[in-house]
Amino acid sequence: MSALNPPGQQMAIACDHGGLALKEYLLSLLTGWGYQVEDLGTNSPDSVDYPDYASRLAAGIAAGRYWCGILVCGTGIGMSMAANRHSGVRAAVCSSTYTARMARAHNDANVLCLGGRVLGLGEAEDIMRTFLEGRFEGGRHQRRIEKIDSAADKEG
C-alpha cells in the first residue's frame, strides 16, 4: 500500500486501555505502509479516560495538524462521541468495510473509530485500509456536510 498522506501532513492514532492492543497492531501496519503517524497514546494497559485521547486527536484535526485520525476504544462508540464534539471533525464508528467506504464516500469522515473488543485484527486491518483508500464523492453529499459544519458552528 502506498502512503496517501497529503505532502507534509501527518495522521494521528490514539486509544484508551480497551483499544491498546489493536492500536499497536494498526500503528505497525500504518508505518509499514509508509504513513507518517503520530501516536497520541495511551501506551499502557492502565485504565484511562477515553475523552482525553479522543479530544487530543480531534483538536489536532480541527487545527489542521493531522489530515485524518484513528481512534480505538473497546467499541469505538465512546471515542466517536467525544471526537465529534469538535468542529470540523467527522468521526465514524466502522464495523465493516462497507461502513468504512460509506463513511468516506458520503460523509467525508476524517476520523475512523474502531472497537478493540469487538473486531479481530484482520477485520480491523481491512476496515482501516478501506477507510484510508476511500474518497469523498462530493456532489449531493457536500451540502449535507456543510449542514453538519454549520450546525457545529452555531453551537460553538
Query: Could you tell me the CA-to-CA distances from 77 to 18, 30, 34, 64 in Å, in that order?
Result: 12, 22, 28, 24
Distance CA 152, CA 87 (A): 6
Residue 68 is among the residues annotated as catalytic for this protein: no
Helix or strand or coil: residue 148? helix
Query: Could you tell me the CA-to-CA distances from 79 to 18, 19, 42, 51, 116 in Å, in that order?
Result: 11, 10, 13, 7, 12
Residue 73 is among the residues annotated as catalytic for this protein: yes
Distance CA 4, CA 129 (A): 11
Q: Which residues of 44-56 are buried (b: 16+ CB within 10 A; e: fewer)?
A: eeeebebbebbbb
Catalytic residue among 15, 68, 73, 113: 73
Residue 89, Cβ neighbours under 10 Å: how many? 23
The catalytic residue positions are: 73, 106
